[in-house]
Chains A and B, each alone.
Chain A
Amino acid sequence: MTETTAITEELLRVEGVTKRYGANTVLDDVSFTIGRNEVVGLLGDNGAGKSTLVKIMSGVVPMTQGAYFWEGTRYDGIDRQKTEELGVETIFQDSALVPQMSITRNIFMGREITNPLGLMKMREMDRITTEILDTVVTIEGIKSAKQLVGSLSGGQAQAVAIARAVHFKRSLLILDEPTSALAVRATEALLAYLRQLKGEGVSSVLVTHNLHHAYEVCDRHIVMNHGRKILDVRREETSVEELTAAVVEGAVGVERFRAGTF
């Protein structure tokens, strides 16, 4: 395993994270750091534990063992309320949308813009929704912010989930296969946006099965295999080929790649 050279400034660090579902160990002693202004790729085969790690980082699933540090401070019993406070925003693999509600209501769900009585400012929320969907997430075919999410295509729904995360992002944006349903142009726009965010001081974690995309936009790559971290390398120390070997064949694949026999 390659040791990563010093990261600029530490934002999120997890240490010794283990997650068990019953007797099934899904994550086994995983540690890593996400630096400030860093775009990190989280890679691995199906079932490697990426989404579980994403949920733990976002606070929606508790870890069985391990520690969570934010800017060097340890937080025990981290939950979604806490991560929201810290500024973590996540696009979950299943999008976490409510099909029966409008796009606007989905985007502002739980974080509505209201007057002091708690009544929602619908016009303002519709306006912001329209604005985000027009600027950051470029997707064809959405007619109105009032459309029900259930009436959208898979890619359009994914765009809504992205729009929500983009609007509320503060320090760390975690994206679990955000481009799986997007067409070429929307995918490129999103990846470009991650690089732009880096310039604005927002870190991101990108989970994807497209290693070329990952290699293109990420500063560092973490590869998971059967719940373990098998690789944690900076972009300039690796190649698409090495990442492919790691994802496909695990630790053995990395060794073989380095020995030149992959």
Chain B
Amino acid sequence: MPDTHEAPPTEREQHVLTAPVSTTSIATRSRTLSDSVPTTFGERVRDSIRYTRGRGALEIGIIFLAVLIGFIIAGLVAPNDFPFLAPSNLSGVISQSIPVLALLGIAAGILMIAGEFDLSLGANLGFSAIVFIRVSEEIGWGWGVAAALGSGIGIALVNGLIVVVTKIPSFIATLGMGFFWVGASFFVNGTAPAILSGAKDDVLTTLFVGDFGVFRMQLVWLLIMGVVGWLFLHRHKLGNHIFAVGGNAQAAKAISINPGRVKLLAFGIFGGLVAFAAILIAVRTNSMQPGSTVDYTLMAIAAAVVGGTSLLGGRGSIIGMIIGAALIRIIENGLILAKAPGFYIQLFVGLIIVVAAIFNKLMEGKAS
């Protein structure tokens, strides 16, 4: 010990630090962490499964696979009664309805990880689609795409600013703004749907809804966005900040992360993804009726929740959000193929959401 001020211990302090204060006590640990660092490939796989357990995606992925296998068997056994494997059905579900909901699920999910909601998602989607169609028809679809992205991101950033500056709950702020943007859609467009016709050329069609037989362009976009989204959320430092702020904003702030700025970033990404989904929908349907997209709000949040995203922030994964959207859409598809009446679909999708949320809550306790 280099210090010279070691006074003889008084009676009272003697029992406190019996061992001399010295760095040798540091080395007395029985088992070190580095002993349990995985070295072989097999160990590494086991390690990563262990630490993905309870974080959402793994469990829901297994359920999704089970449903999928069941549907495939049913499709093979009774191809006429349950034409799940018919190319037209597969291409419609896998390449069209899943990707759009998955992109919206990712949008809602990233924002939820940051600890915020945007209940104006459906309104933003409809408004941005109308902006896309109107601008495309006026001056060409290149401008239309840019304008839609501007409108989607702009609307989301306004929501973000309201939430960050006034500190009112995003639930209330975006609920209000949702009504506002539905109203605004009618205001700019009137009650008749906006129609995409003259501006739709081959390039636009191929780019956003191109049909390649087994798959369509929407699926390609989902794969691209999924990989980019994964790299951003799970591997980029800004993604790490989103988790930190949603998990414990006070802690993030104490380590010099600015929670307001991170939340605005999450709102901006949300807006961009919503605008992109709006373009995919508009190009496929060639039209947009004001007020017709409101249902997407809760469907997107449901996809995120089913995929293991926490309603309290700080927890979720891109792969989980995609699987959540896929599970909802595939069960919906199964019910339609089984010719279940329309209300069955609502009923079952509603149940899945609740069951998945309960399931996720249970798994959360198992996370290590």
Contacts and interface: CB of A to CB of B under 8 A. Distances in A.
23 contacts: A60-B254, A80-B253, A96-B250, A96-B251, A96-B254, A98-B248, A100-B315, A109-B244, A109-B255, A109-B257, A110-B241, A110-B252, A119-B231, A122-B235, A130-B37, A138-B28, A142-B33, A143-B33, A146-B51, A150-B367, A188-B25, A199-B2, A240-B10
Interface string B297-318: 0000000000000100011000
Contact of B247 (A81, A98, A134): A98
B269 to A, nearest CB: 15
A181 B363 CA distance: 28
Interface stretch (B13-21, B93-101, B287-295): B13-21
A105 B29 contact: no
A95 B33 CA distance: 21
B236 A80 contact: no
Lowest 8 A-B CB distances belong to which pairs? A98-B247, A96-B251, A100-B314, A212-B16, A112-B237, A96-B254, A110-B255, A80-B256
Interface of B: 1-3, 5, 7, 10, 12-13, 16-17, 19, 21-23, 25-26, 28-34, 36-37, 47-48, 51, 231, 235-238, 240-241, 243-244, 247-248, 250-257, 310, 314-315, 367-368
Nearest to B239: A120
A101 B244 CA distance: 7
A98 B13 contact: no
A135 interface: yes
A155 to B, nearest CB: 14
Given A151-B368, A185-B25, A210-B16, A100 B310 contact: yes
Interface string A42-58: 00000000000000001
B26 A135 contact: yes
A195 interface: yes
Q: For A105, A189, A196, which residue has the most chain B Cβ atoms within 10 angstroms?
A: A189
A100 B365 CA distance: 11
Contacts of B310: 100
A195 to B, nearest CB: 6
Nearest to A151: B368
Contacts of B2: 199
Contact of B26 (A95, A112, A189): A189
Contacts of B25: 138, 185, 188-189, 192
A112 B254 CA distance: 15
B33 A119 contact: no
Given A92-B254, A98-B247, A144-B36, A188 B368 contact: no
A196 B248 CA distance: 32
A215 B13 contact: yes
Interface in A123-164: 126, 130-131, 133-136, 138, 140, 142-148, 150-151
A235 B5 contact: yes
A134 B32 contact: yes
A4 interface: no
A139 to B, nearest CB: 8
Given A146-B47, A213-B16, A240-B10, A99 B247 contact: yes
Q: For B31, B240, B241, which residue has the most chain A Cβ atoms within 10 angstroms?
A: B240
A110 B256 contact: yes
Nearest to A97: B251
Contact of A216 (B21, B29, B256): B21
B23 to A, nearest CB: 5
A3 interface: no
Nearest to A219: B5
B254 A90 contact: yes
Contacts of B30: 140
Nearest to B12: A240
A109 B257 CA distance: 8
A122 B44 CA distance: 14
Nearest to A194: B21
Given A96-B251, A146-B51, A188-B25, A216 B241 contact: no
Contact of B17 (A120, A150, A188): A188
Contacts of B32: 134
Contacts of A195: 1, 3, 21
A114 interface: yes
Contact of B51 (A90, A94, A144): A144
Contacts of B51: 102, 144, 146-148
A235 B6 CA distance: 10
A260 interface: no
B238 A188 contact: no
Contacts of A99: 247-248, 314
A252 B326 CA distance: 71
Contacts of A58: 254
Interface in A233-249: 235-236, 239-241
Contacts of B22: 192
Contacts of A189: 23, 25-26
Contacts of A146: 47-48, 51
Contacts of B28: 138, 185
Nearest to B7: A236
B93 to A, nearest CB: 33
Contacts of A130: 33-34, 37
A133 B237 contact: no
Nearest to B13: A212
A22 interface: no
B26 A192 contact: yes
A145 B29 contact: no
Q: For B2, B32, B33, B244, which residue has the most chain A Cβ atoms within 10 angstroms?
A: B33
Nearest to A134: B32
Contacts of B13: 212, 215-216, 240
